[in-house]
Amino acid sequence: MESSIWDMFGLLKILDDVKHLKRTGWLRYNIGEPETVASHMYRMAMLAMVLDDSGFDRAKCIRMALVHDLSEAIVGDITPFCGISSEQKHHLENEIEEPETVASHMYRMAMLAMVLDDSGFDRAKCIRMALVHDLSEAIVGDITPFCGISSEQKHHLENEAMKKIVQMVPAATGSDWYSLWREYEMNATKEAMIVKHLDKFDMIAQAFHYEQKYNIGKAHFIDIYYISDLEEFFTSTENLFTLEPFVTWNRELRAKRSQSKAAANSPVTLMANDADSVS
């Protein structure tokens, strides 16, 4: 039987874990609906599908996007809460009503890739890469700069997680998943660079969405934190985008964010908000 050749139920468990694993970078900001690891990888893959596939392997990008954070299903979500008490983490986690999942993140990346002009790269590969690039997080969790874990240790944990995950599928598939993840991590090919751009663009797009949806930027408190906005996500990517159409997308998103912030802080808007708070 096919089930005796590969661990179907083990894979289903990994996929379920990554589907519900909340990305803790958003939990730190008390986001009501943080994405999950599964949604993160899924969106990446979907975005890769719309990319122009000239110059790279689009199918490979899609597969890499689908598996890159799978390891978190085993090692857990290593997050910015590493230095915060379990009580504080529990409180903040319970404040999130609709957290983004890793899968949802990958899904959107894949969708964005689908709208890319595929001249000079392999769009199909980008889609697949987007779908697997965070699979290791199903085991190790969403390791962020706030965790105090070195990039070398992070890579080691994710690499080991991926090795466990690929054992759950047929050999050819596992080899493909691992290869896609490695290519993404090395960031040496056109496809890997495109998926990296998709990853960062999706991050700032998500940050902007949360600012809009939860009115972040208007006296937003989270226990010991005061969140004026999600500016750090934008400052950290200020000069990161070097490829089109991401340079244009980035510019347009920031322009829209600036307009939105200006409108939110206008005298008329502030007076209306004050009236609402009194009533």
**Can you give the pLDDT at residue 228?**
56
pLDDT tens sequence across 213-239: 777 765 444 444 445 568 889 999 999
Chain-wide mean pLDDT for the chain? 74
Q: Is residue 125 part of a domain?
A: yes
CB 227 within 8 A of CB 221: yes
In this structure, of 16-20, 25-29, 166-170, 173-177, the range with the lowest mean pLDDT score is: 16-20
- What six digits make up the tokens of 127? 């889609």
Any domain includes 61: yes
CATH number of domain containing 49: 1.10.3210.10
Copy the structure tokens of residue 88. 């504080």
How many structural domains compose the chain? 1
Cis amide bond preceding 170, omega within 30: no
Domain of residue 10, residue span: 2-274
How large is the average pLDDT for residues 16-35? 72
Contacts with 58 (C-beta within 8 Å, 6 or more apart), sequence order: 48, 49, 51, 113, 118, 121, 122, 123, 124, 125, 126, 127, 128, 191
14 vs 121, residue with greater confidence: 121
Q: Is the pLDDT of residue 205 over 70?
A: yes
Whether 154 shows a pLDDT value over 70: the answer reads yes
Helix axes 123-130, 190-213, angle to 10 degrees: 50
Print the SS3 string covering 133-173: ECECHHHHCCCCHHHCCCHHHHHHHHHHHHHHHHCCCCHHH
**Which residues, 6+ apart, have CB-to-CB distance to 109 below 8 Å?**
40, 41, 42, 43, 44, 45, 46, 47, 48, 65, 130, 195, 198, 199, 202
- Report yes or no on 127 lying in a domain: yes
Q: Kindly tell me if the per-residue pLDDT of 131 is higher than 50.
A: yes
Q: Which residues pair with 22 in a beta bridge?
A: 36, 101
Residue 123 predicted with pLDDT over 80: yes
What does the DSSP 8-state code read for residue 254? H
Q: What is the pLDDT of residues 41-97, one digit of tens each?
A: 776 765 665 466 678 886 777 767 766 766 776 765 555 455 544 444 444 443 434
Range 250-266 average pLDDT: 85
**279 occurs within a structural domain:** no
Is residue 25 one of the residues assigned to a domain?
yes
Alpha carbon distance 184, 179 (integer Å)? 9
